[in-house]
Amino acid sequence: MDDILRFLLTASPQPGALGSIEDWWRQHLGLASRFMTPVDHALAGGFMADRLGFAFTSGYHAALRSLFPGMPKEHRGALCATEAGGAHPSAIQTRLSGGEGEGPLRLTGSKMFVTLGTAAETLFIVASEGLDAQGRNRLRVVMIDARREGVHLDEMPTMPFVPEIPHAELRLHEVAVSPEEVLPGDGYERYLKPFRTTEDCHVNAALLGWLLQIARRSGWPERVQDEVLALAVMIRGLALAEPASPAVHVALGGALDLCQRLVAGLEEWWPRVDAPTRERWERDKALLGVAGKARAKRREVARQRLGAQ
């Protein structure tokens, strides 16, 4: 941990201008050889970002690296789960068919809000193999190249906040899949469910890295900088814990509450920040409220599980 702490406290807090996803990716890749642990990569990537959107993408990509260590290192990845009916397991209609004497494996279906959009190169697609004996979706995750025949990514309109992050709709038409591209284990329990926790940890680590950079270059009080750093250490520890643990979910809920209070308490210091950064923050901070209901539900369920043990 000493290496990432020294980086956050001593690296130059003057980020270079990042004009595109390609600029962000070159910078993000450049940090990979120094910070092998995904959450440290997220912290460093956030610190080096010139805006919240690119800090988020560093956290998102680090979360994918944590959950899918077999992802090609030079590829930008995207988890493709959300469909027209949402991302709940019962809403997944994309179908993985074939195999075991039923012909070659094929993927067919569609997804919405694919983060990184047409810039994504490796896709992790949540698909159904059909229903189990209880009538529940049997989900798997399939890792494929975004350029494969039958894969179509269509850009979506930019969002009103963090417009630098592209999103796309994904259409899959009889996409050929090899057996080794179907990842082992249950698609929901092993990948989709823990990703929600993993993403929260890594994205918030990147946010705190970014805020510490702003605090240092804008002359915020040292006590404020120390509070940001301390919370980053807390989030880092949770990112290294078991994401399926209900105890981790409860602790993460408390850490995210602290993060919200910290961000609210920083408002008095934003006037010291340069105008372009401050204006983008006002535009983009709505991102921090996305999925708040899902997080609250996750904490409630975690407390119930702990009480039943």
Report the CATH number at residue 176. Answer: 2.40.110.10
Overall domain count for the chain: 2
Averaged pLDDT, 269-274:
97
Final residue before a domain boundary, out of 182, 203, 219: 182
The closest alpha carbon to 127, from 152, 148, 98, 155, belongs to 98
Q: Does residue 72 fall inside a structural domain?
A: no
Same-domain status, 178 and 195: no
> Binning pLDDT at 50, 70 and 90, where does residue 195 land?
very high
Same-domain status, 169 and 89: yes
> Binning pLDDT at 50, 70 and 90, where does residue 306 land?
confident
Predicted pLDDT of residue 22? 96
Same-domain status, 212 and 117: no
Predicted pLDDT of residue 309? 59
d(CA 107, CA 173): 7
Mean pLDDT of the chain: 94
Q: Does residue 292 fall inside a structural domain?
A: yes
Same-domain status, 62 and 82: no
The closest alpha carbon to 94, from 187, 181, 190, 211, belongs to 187
Q: Which carries the bigger pLDDT value, residue 98 or residue 233?
A: 233
Predicted pLDDT of residue 297? 84
> Binning pLDDT at 50, 70 and 90, where does residue 298 land?
confident
Same-domain status, 240 and 144: no
**Looking at this protein, which amino acid is placed at residue 37?**
T
Percent of the chain with pLDDT over 90: 86
Same-domain status, 222 and 277: yes
Q: Does residue 145 fall inside a structural domain?
A: yes
> Binning pLDDT at 50, 70 and 90, where does residue 302 land?
confident
Kindly provide the residue ranges of all beta strands, DSSP E only, lying in 116-150, ordered along the sequence.
Answer: 122-131, 137-145
Same-domain status, 133 and 213: no
Question: Going by C-beta distance under 8 Å and a sequence separation of 6 or more, which residues neighbour residue 157?
Answer: none
In the predicted structure, residue 206 carries a pLDDT above the cut 70: yes
Predicted pLDDT of residue 308? 65
d(CA 241, CA 221): 31
> Binning pLDDT at 50, 70 and 90, where does residue 101 land?
low
In the predicted structure, residue 157 carries a pLDDT above the cut 90: yes
Place of tokens 């949540």: 126
> Binning pLDDT at 50, 70 and 90, where does residue 61 land?
very high
Residue 20 CB: number of other CB atoms within 10 A?
Answer: 12
Same-domain status, 162 and 247: no
Averaged pLDDT, 215-221:
98
d(CA 293, CA 220): 32
In the predicted structure, residue 129 carries a pLDDT above the cut 80: yes
> Binning pLDDT at 50, 70 and 90, where does residue 98 land?
confident
Final residue before a domain boundary, out of 182, 212, 234: 182
Same-domain status, 61 and 195: yes
Same-domain status, 196 and 301: yes
Averaged pLDDT, 180-187:
96
- Mapping DSSP to helix (H, G, I), strand (E, B) and coil, where does residue 111 land? strand
Find the domain containing 121 and state its range: 77-182
In the predicted structure, residue 77 carries a pLDDT above the cut 80: yes
> Binning pLDDT at 50, 70 and 90, where does residue 133 land?
confident
Q: Does residue 58 fall inside a structural domain?
A: yes
Residue 206 CB: number of other CB atoms within 10 A?
Answer: 33
Alpha helices in the chain (DSSP H): 2-10, 21-32, 38-48, 52-67, 193-217, 222-239, 246-265, 275-284, 292-307
Same-domain status, 141 and 209: no
Question: Going by C-beta distance under 8 Å and a sequence separation of 6 or more, which residues neighbour residue 261?
Answer: none
Final residue before a domain boundary, out of 139, 164, 182: 182
Predicted pLDDT of residue 304? 87
Averaged pLDDT, 56-85:
95
Place of tokens 């807090």: 13
Same-domain status, 302 and 246: yes
Averaged pLDDT, 206-224:
98
Q: Does residue 83 fall inside a structural domain?
A: yes
Residue 244 CB: number of other CB atoms within 10 A?
Answer: 12
Q: Which carries the bigger pLDDT value, residue 295 or residue 160?
A: 160
Exposed, middle or buried: residue 274 (CB in 10 Å: 0-12, 13-18, 19+)? Answer: exposed
